[in-house]
Amino acid sequence: MNFPIDLRSDTVTQPTPEMRQFMAQAEVGDAVIEVDPTTERLEKLTAEMLGKEAAIYMPSGSMTNQIAIRLHCQPGDEFLCEENCHVYNYEQAAFAQLSGVVARTLPGENGVLKPEQFEGIIRPENDHLVRTKLVCLENTHNRGSGKVLPFETVEKITSWAHAGGLKTHLDGARLFNAAVATGISVADWSGMFDTVSVCFSKGLGAPVGSALVGPAEFIRQAKRGRKLFGGGMRQSGIIAAGALFALQNNVDRLSEDHEKAARLAEAVRQSEGIALDVDPVETNIVIFSIEKELGTAAQLQSALSEKGVKVLSVAPQKIRMVTHLDVSMTQIDAAIEVIKQTLPGMA
Ligand SMILES: *Cc1c(COP(=O)(O)O)cnc(C)c1O
């Protein structure tokens, strides 16, 4: 058995020999002065898959989200989002630090908001008030155990937003997982939003990068934003090739990651002292709580780590495990054995 088994995140994957080969052979140019042909190919394919006019490759998902917010909003504007979303919790409130924008968070259930929560919350035009400009959703929802937002809910919220003159942005870091889990295409998901960001370095297994997609003029402005945020990259084709390879080869196989997560979830369900946060697990993220009598999540994390199973403590009593293309089903079974052996010893 190959240890360690790294379930901390789907960002830990290593480029395969085939991907490295493809990257090594990538045609490159200076993407800041003119174009990098491989980056351009990646951007064209991404835009096409998501059914939007244009796409732009960026170093990280945080940058794509933050530039989208910056362009949709002016200083003194607010955007609406779910309180556990990545944009609000894990990006240093860059929208405030860098763009003078505030977030108004709404409490969701496992990351899912109800259309009714939006009724009457657009602030009226008044010199005292911030201006409500944007709705930002996340699919799949990271802190919501990889939950897929219900399609109809997203439809209702985005239609409500557009009818009220608001823009919509989707943090689709794991949108391909949502598409594979539901059979609803990324283009159909993306069609409900003005702009969408997707990550290549999560489940798709590329070493670096994300893309922001949307209308051509918006993406042109995003290119200025990328330069402003220090994300202008020159011969980016080397890494864009990894993303291109991932997009062409690693989408359908995400269903295997979902099967692995379902297997882990079943083991959690059968174990004493731990319980799934969200049941059923819909995609590749499993979050479970550990009873205080057994110890803290940090203690369990280090006990598992000593036995070669790496997980992430995400709250005092919560552990996260993420499946991805570098863990096999056999390793999942081995990880389950380790968890089963470790838990009783914790009490
Ligand atoms: C990983 C992730 C991002 C982007 O993270 P970076 O580390 O900046 O690439 C954005 N949103 C969600 C939901 C994520 O899980």
Class of domain 17-249: alpha beta
Angle ∠(251,26,37) on CA atoms, nearest 5? 90
- Respond yes or no on whether the N-terminal peptide bond of residue 15 is cis (omega within 30° of 0): no
The predicted structure's pLDDT at residue 1:
73
Which residue ranges in the chain fall short of pLDDT 70?
none
* pLDDT tens string 323-332: 999 999 999 9
Order the strands of the 54-58 sheet from edge to edge. Answer: 54-58, 210-214, 195-199, 167-172, 131-138, 77-82, 102-106
Say yes or no: do domains 5-12+253-346 and 17-249 share a fold.
Answer: no
Give the burial string for 283-315 (b: 16+ CB within 10 Å, else e).
Answer: bbbbbbbbeeebbbbeebbebbeebbbbbebee
Give pLDDT, residue 344.
86
pLDDT (0 to 100) of residue 345: 81
The CATH number for 5-12+253-346, chosen from 3.40.50.620, 3.40.630.10, 3.40.50.720, 3.90.1150.10, is 3.90.1150.10
Question: Measured from the CB, is residue 303 less than 6 Å from ligand 1?
Answer: no
**pLDDT score recorded for residue 12:** 97
Pocket residue to mutate for ligand 1, from 199, 226, 287, 320, most atoms within 8 A of Cβ: 199
Whole-number pLDDT of residue 193? 98
- The residue extents of the domains of the chain are 5-12+253-346, 17-249
Our answer on whether the CB atom of 309 is closer than 6 Å to any ligand 1 atom is no
Pocket flag, ligand 1, residue 197 (CB < 6 Å): no
Rounded to the nearest angstrom, the distance between the alpha carbon of 61 and the centre of ligand 1 is 5
Whole-number pLDDT of residue 330: 97
- Our answer on whether the CB atom of 10 is closer than 6 Å to any ligand 1 atom is no
* Ligand 1 pocket check for 86: Cβ under 6 Å: yes
